[in-house]
Structure 1
Amino acid sequence: MLKKSLLALAVSSIGLMSLPALADSYVIDTKGAHASINFAVKHLGYSWLTGRFDNFSGEFTYDPAKPEASTISVTIDTTSVNSNHAERDKHLRGSDFLNVEKFPKATFVSKQIKVDPDDKDEFDIIGDLTLNGVTKTIVIEVDKVGEGKDPWGGYRVGFEGETHINMRDFNIKMDLGPASQMVKLELHVEGIKK
């Protein structure tokens, strides 16, 4: 009986050892302001208008040995749009642009990660962006910045990403000409391991 119990324990231990390690879970460090969501759009084709969203939150999973299994979800408070100009921000919050009274939140949820075959620290995140009540699949090009222990006993990992979206795809009505239709989004994400 004892031999059978020991054998069963040994078999179950081997089975557990062969299971793949689970990806670590991280929360995006917005409290410490170590993350940002920035945008840039050409103003009439003559110059760049830049800004950011001050309030957002998110989580992701990440395993450096298997980045293709990673996931991310982010929620953006669109009322927090900030282009460093109060009157313009009021217009951006209105029905011509973000329509925040009706849609005060935007979200991004990943669906797939495609890793660069030559560099596991570079990958594309494919996912659904919901903005102004419209959901579209977008691709974010991502580079890993680094990871390691922090001075407070935690563990962090950071990434930077970039994508472009067409305002018309998200039912944004304001038309400032062809040069102003594409918006560049720049993302800086630092996560703290849970």
Structure 2
Amino acid sequence: MGRFDGEIPGLRISRPTLTVVGEADSGPRAEALCASLRPDVLLMDLRMPDGDGVESIARMTAAGLPSRVIVLTTYETDGDILRAVEAGAAGHLLKDMPRAELAEAVRCAARGETVLAPSVAARLMDQLRDRPERPRLSERETDVLRLVAEGCTNAEIGRRLFIGESTVKTRLLRAFGKLGVADRTAAVISAMRLGLL
């Protein structure tokens, strides 16, 4: 995890320096530190104790944490790359890259840019070309699913969106059909994986 104002030990760079503000040895610990420290950029591995890195990225994205997450891993399997990007990662880099390039990638991410290792970018493009078109949810269907993800009942959703409970059910059923699922949980998971929430 880094803030944009100090230095990485052992790294001499004449450009703006970086500060490591925290380290975590598991996904849940990284989530907790990210929530409390609010770093500009978070470097996250995908293979960690106590959980999958992609799941942690998805939870941090859903929680609205402002940190830009860069996956930094030795793995570049097609499934991992796409899952991480869909979960909200701002980049995917490989651990064997030179330190100066890593520092520059962190700066780019802090500025809001997407950072991908060239080999990762090529694989991601291939995956997206071969992928079927994702469903399009209406704004109201997305609003309803977002509230479902927060744990709201149909009655609560209706009150918050100023619509009737039967309208909530109709919007949910339409979303289920578009996503190819049969229940609320599957709809939320599918919508998150597709980057619709």
TM-score normalized by structure 1?
0.20
Higher relative contact order (CA 8 A, sep 6+): 1
TM-score normalized by structure 2?
0.20
Larger radius of gyration: 1
Question: Greater share of strand residues, 1 or 2?
Answer: 1
